Amino acid sequence: MCKTGLDVLRPSSTRIKGAFLAACVLTSDGPTTPIEELEMKRVLEIPFGGFSYDHWRCAIEDQMDFEGHKLAEASDRDNPMEANDYVEVIYALWNQRDRGYGYLAKEYLSRYSRAVKDVTKMPVDLEFYRYDGNSDRIFARIEYKSVKALFAASERDGHDALCYAIKDAFTSRGTYYSLYDDHPENLLSKPLRTWNHNELQVLLRSLAGEVDETQICDEMNESGDFLEAFWCSMSKRRFEREVAARSQKLEPSERKLVRRSLKFPQFPHLH
């Protein structure tokens, strides 16, 4: 029977590890050969609030502001370009494409994957698939044998947490209209191979729980991931072109000073 609210408890690590071994042998939709399992991967959406949320947006804006002032300080003393001018350049280039967000999304997934392993005590590997800038969502690949292991772990616990997660994710409320059936028994009766990226996310979330995005964001900022993401999102040529465009309002002699003062950060992987 499905439980709700505080009645839902996560399975213990001992039961989860046992379920992982059992899942490699048989699941509700039948056995598969080792070769078939190696070839099968599924795509799932990763639990993620989105870069538009305050903790991500503020961290990105703060880093942009910091980088703009650092560029101004590194320039020649007589450079007429001010810190705010460089900040605007970084903003303009960052927002032109999703390369920077994709870099951050990939690093977020890496840290999220480690957190999942820590909580579930299972060797569930999530491989970065893509970042969708239009919907602000992250997608990953997961081996089918890991999907079966997650399902088996849930099954060992009577699917209590999964039932609650299905109701929580797929029940329409207020202005939110769900396209999914919020009756757990209907999803549980479907072959596991047919579960889509949203349904697999619910399975993962029911076992791993909620990850502290704010903590991951802070860790990424402290480790320099935001810095590299900014400069990975642009090329030296585009950077110079944008600076030149913004210096057109200056006198010719001043524009020459700007060109002479350009300091583009050097990372081995940047072009």
Tokens matching residue 143: 């081996």
Flag whether pLDDT at 9 surpasses 50: no
Strand order in the sheet with 41-45: 41-45, 137-143, 126-132
Number of alpha carbons in the 13 Å side-chain half-sphere of residue 69: 5
Distances from the Cα of 29 to the Cαs of 68, 180, 201, 220, in angstroms?
55, 21, 19, 39
Q: Please provide the average confidence, as pLDDT, over all residues in the chain.
A: 77
- Residue-wise pLDDT for 37-59, tens only, equals 545 899 999 999 999 899 999 99
Summarised one tens digit per residue, pLDDT across range 132-166 is 999 999 999 999 999 999 999 999 999 999 999 99
Q: Which of 137-146, 227-236, 248-257 has the highest mean pLDDT?
A: 137-146
The number of residues making up the chain comes to 271
Helix axes 197-208, 160-170, angle to 10 degrees: 130
Mean pLDDT, rounded, for 194-206: 95
The letter for the amino acid at 121 is K
pLDDT at 97: 63
Q: Looking at residue 235, what is its pLDDT?
A: 72
Give the pLDDT mean for 217-243. Answer: 82
- Give 202's contacts (C-beta < 8 A, 6+ positions apart): 162, 165, 166, 169, 170
Report the first-to-last Cα separation within the chain, whole angstroms. 57
What is the distance between the alpha carbons of residues 250 and 271, in angstroms, rounded to a whole number?
28
Note the pLDDT of residue 14: 37
Please state, as a whole number, how many other Cβ atoms lie within 10 Å of the Cβ of residue 123. 11
Count CB-CB contacts under 10 A for residue 125: 13
For the cut 50, the answer to whether the pLDDT of residue 270 exceeds it is no
Residue with more model confidence, 238 or 76: 238
Report pTM: 0.74
**What mean pLDDT do residues 55-73 have?**
85
Predicted local distance difference test score (pLDDT) of residue 80: 58
Place of tokens 């757990």: 184
**So what's the pLDDT on residue 243?**
74
Predicted local distance difference test score (pLDDT) of residue 259: 52
Statement: residue 187 has pLDDT above 70: yes
Task: Scan for tokens 């903003």, then name that residue.
Answer: 91
* pLDDT band at residue 2 using 50, 70 and 90 as cut-offs: very low
Pairing of strands 41-45, 137-143: antiparallel
Determine which of 70-74, 191-195, 222-226 has the lowest per-residue pLDDT on average: 70-74
* Structure confidence by residue, pLDDT tens digits, 119-135: 999 988 899 999 999 99
The answer on pLDDT for 232 being more than 70 is yes
Q: Is residue 12 within 8 Å of residue 156, measured between CB atoms?
A: no
Grouping H, G, I as helix, E, B as strand and the rest as coil, residue 163 is helix
